[in-house]
Amino acid sequence: MDNPTLFVSSHAPYWHNGARLSVKNCHIMIAALPAVIMGIYQYGAPALGVVALSVAAAMIWELLMNLVLRRPVSIGDGSAALTGLIFAMLLPATTPWWTVVLGAFLAIVVAKQIYGGIGCNPLNPALVAIAIIFLSWQGIVDFDEALADYDLGCVMAYPLTALKYFGTSAISDFSAADLLMGRHAGAIGATFGLGLLAGGIYLMLRGMIRWEISLSFLAGVFVTALLFYLADSQKYAGPLFHLLTGYTLIGAFFLATEDSSSPVNFIPMLIYGACAGILTVLIRNIGAFVDGTVFAILMMNVANPLIDKIRPKALGGGMKHA
């Protein structure tokens, strides 16, 4: 050939904004760190053990599934590590090792890989894992029981359990500042409200999570709790209590916003978030479970494909069919 220069030819566009999944997952993990570090500080080595084991187990399960299914190795994108981290954040520090490994299996293999891997899971993997563990071994994730040997120098009770079984009089011991600063019993990464808020706001500002989902979830929790509170303030706790206890904050910023199981259109995101928030409080106040966040978000995950059909008309009005 008289012109030996070989060019790389491909389809437009030739630029990219530089976004990567691994970078995004790194940012989400960094945003989760304040809450995790606080948990480790409070509960010591056992908490560190649970977090480390969960992240490692999730990554190993992912790698094993990659090998078994003969798919490209995908642990480099950080999503398995992130799932492991978030799952650990939902557990009490005393969780036995086999539960952590089993939970990581449920999250990565059952909830994600058998559906086809990343992007194909209809439900949030970490939530599936915690839901199955919760339904199967309630004692392990009963925070009062699990953390009975700990004394952090504050009221060592799980606020939502106290509310459920002892009424509003039992929660007067928890001030908003205590709840924000993690001075109460709970999961490793779910008690330090201020850290979760800081992480969530960071993620929303960076566009790493969809602010529509987080804010509508919090609004759903707030409004529903307020309505209950106004109806009977003796029986039901105030909205601020519901916002700062249980899995509410971690749910708003780290669970409900999982990409694959949440909507992408504007109005569906608001509906999804708000309904998850409403369901959370409904389950807490009149349902059977102490905390409703897990099942509320899972239920909205199931409804997601339907909700996400609400979308604006495309340019040209879409196709007309005879």
Q: Measuring CA to CA, which residue among 94, 103, 96 is closest to residue 55? A: 103
> Does 98 contact other proteins by CB under 8 A?
no
Q: Do 224 and 236 contact (CB within 8 A), yes or no?
A: no
d(CA 152, CA 114): 41
| Distances, alpha carbon 274 to alpha carbons 180, 217, 285, 318, in Å | 22, 5, 17, 29
> Does 27 contact other proteins by CB under 8 A?
no
Looking at beta carbons only, is 235 or 309 nearer to other proteins? 309
> Please, what's the b/e burial string for 229-245 (b: 16 or more CB within 10 A of its CB; e: otherwise)?
beeeeeebbbbebbbbb
Applying CB under 8 A, among 259, 267, 282, 299 the residue interacting with other proteins is 259
> Does 118 contact other proteins by CB under 8 A?
yes
d(CA 303, CA 160): 26
> Does 322 contact other proteins by CB under 8 A?
yes
Which part of the chain contacts other proteins (CB under 8 A), choosing from 171-179, 223-231, 234-242, 254-262? Answer: 254-262
Which part of the chain contacts other proteins (CB under 8 A), choosing from 113-121, 161-169, 177-185, 295-303? Answer: 113-121
Rounded to a whole number of angstroms, the CA Rg of the chain reads 21
Applying CB under 8 A, among 139, 153, 172, 316 the residue interacting with other proteins is 316
Nearest 10 degrees: Cα torsion 48, 51, 56, 57: 130
> Does 317 contact other proteins by CB under 8 A?
yes
Cβ at position 214, least distance to other proteins in Å: 12
Looking at beta carbons only, is 19 or 288 nearer to other proteins? 19
> Does 70 contact other proteins by CB under 8 A?
no
> Does 288 contact other proteins by CB under 8 A?
no
- Residue the block writes with tokens 């199981």: 261
Q: What residue ranges bind other proteins (CB under 8 A)?
A: 3-21, 23-24, 79, 116-120, 204-208, 210-211, 259-260, 262-265, 311-322
